[in-house]
Amino acid sequence: MSSQIPDTPPTAAHAKADTTSLGDLLGEVTRDLSTLIRQEIELAKAELKQSGTRAGKGGGMLAGAGVAGHFVLLFLSVALWYALGELMGLGWSAVVVAVLWAIIAAILASVGRKELKAIKGMPQTVETAREIPPTLKPNGDHR
């Protein structure tokens, strides 16, 4: 029993492939690829704008929290200064509170400096972006 595929009429893509030159087809592919890249760039711009807006709002909120936290520390320091002033006099208690803050500042500076020295090289994203052009080259030509 032989099964034959009935002759089906050619699709529009087949008809176009039969009547269009290879150069024209490659031109269309190039235009389509160019359009796709432009659309991706526009999408990335829109996403960056949205992310930037959110980052700006978040950064503003964090700045406000930082100012509020600073006032909390200021008033707690004044309260400690006053409480210690009852025991040893206001002058010496101010010195004690200042020395405590100097120790905290030295520790934070030391830890921060160590963290900054631990940063080496560029982020991974930059490295991956550099790998894109070789992937677009024909096989066997990767460098």
pLDDT in tens, 86-97: 999 999 999 999
3-state percent breakdown (helix, strand, coil) of the chain, nearest 5: 80, 0, 20
Do 10 and 18 meet the contact criterion of CB atoms below 8 Å apart? yes
Mean pLDDT of 13-24: 76
In 3D space, the residue among 126, 122, 77, 125 whose CA is nearest the CA of residue 104 turns out to be 77
Phi-psi region at 140: left, alpha or beta (left = phi > 0; alpha = psi -120 to 50): left
Widest CA span in the chain:
112
Whole-prediction pTM: 0.47
- Rg of the chain over Cα atoms, rounded to whole angstroms, equals 34
Range with lowest mean pLDDT among 2-6, 59-63, 78-82, 112-116 = 2-6
The three-state secondary structure class of 33 is helix
Whether residue 111 has pLDDT greater than 60: yes
pLDDT for 94: 94
Listed by start position, the domains of the chain span 17-136
- Residue 35, both tokens: 């359009």
Whether residue 122 has pLDDT greater than 80: no
